[in-house]
Amino acid sequence: MELKKTYLPMMMAGLMTTGLAATTAQAEDLPISGDIGIYSQYMWRGMQASSSASVQGDLGAETDFGLSANVWFAAPLGNAPNGNNTTEFDFTVDYSTEIAGVGVSVGYIYYLYQNQTSWNTGELYAGLSYGPVSVTYYNAVNSNKGGWKKDAYVDVGLAQSYGGYDFGANFGFYLPSNDLNNPTAFPTTKNELGHVDLSLSKDMELGAAVTMTPSMMVSIPTYTGKPKGASQFVAGVNFAY
């Protein structure tokens, strides 16, 4: 994860002082937060994206009127099958609001893969949440060489906190493309529940500005023809700032 900065040359010291003051004021008006952690492996929607340990984190900014932008990354510490480290960056623009107690969010995610540009793709999504329940629909709008465009995915999430622990359950439904010109990225699935992820985490305050979150997750594949013993466990620790 890297916060990209653009430095503009200032021709006069007075202009430089003004520019720095404006930048500081803008930073105060635009809350910026992020986190970084290390995980035993990287699972994505029930699929093993990296079997080696992975450093993951994000950086985001949001406005008072519901618009936010975020960049998330996953950097495997081992090598991908092709011998190159494949670092993933996900760029998201989101608008979220609440209507009569129901959370509503819409946005776009662009997936960028370092050393594997043929995997680059993008999705539009729309989600609803009420209390502990959330439902989010994703639709691939950018194709890549792996056959991704027009695939869809639905995530149903349940979240509950008890005794300082956060429990989560996510049910992922694959909706493969039926377009012959856009072969599905998930040929083994047939519009069905593809996996169930169960998670447990706990926030631990480290001073006023940093929160450490140890976590554990098990991802259980459920689609037809799943490999025997395919359930995957992920342990991690995350630091939010």
- To which H or E segment does residue 17 belong? helix 13-29
How do residues 173-197 score in pLDDT, each as one tens digit?
988 766 666 555 555 566 678 889 9
Which pLDDT score, from 0 to 100, does residue 19 have? Answer: 35
Q: Where are the domains of the chain?
A: 33-240
The superfamily CATH assigns to domain 33-240 is monomeric porin ompg (2.40.160.40)
Which pLDDT score, from 0 to 100, does residue 240 have? Answer: 92
The amino acid that residue 209 corresponds to is A
Percentage of the chain beyond pLDDT 70 is 73
User: Taking Cα atoms as reference points, which of 42, 43, 45 lies closest to residue 185?
Assistant: 45
The model's pTM: 0.80
User: Taking Cα atoms as reference points, which of 118, 115, 175 lies closest to residue 151?
Assistant: 175
d(CA 107, CA 57): 19
Query: For residue 5, is it left (φ>0), alpha (ψ between -120 and 50) or beta?
Result: beta
Which pLDDT score, from 0 to 100, does residue 214 have? Answer: 96
Residue numbers in the chain where pLDDT is lower than 70? 1-30, 79-85, 144-150, 177-191, 224-229
Which pLDDT score, from 0 to 100, does residue 184 have? Answer: 59
Strand spans (E) along 131-209: 133-142, 152-162, 165-175, 192-202, 204-206
Rg over CA atoms, the chain: 20
In whole angstroms, what separates CA 83 from the centre of its chain? Answer: 25
What mean pLDDT, rounded, does the chain reach?
80
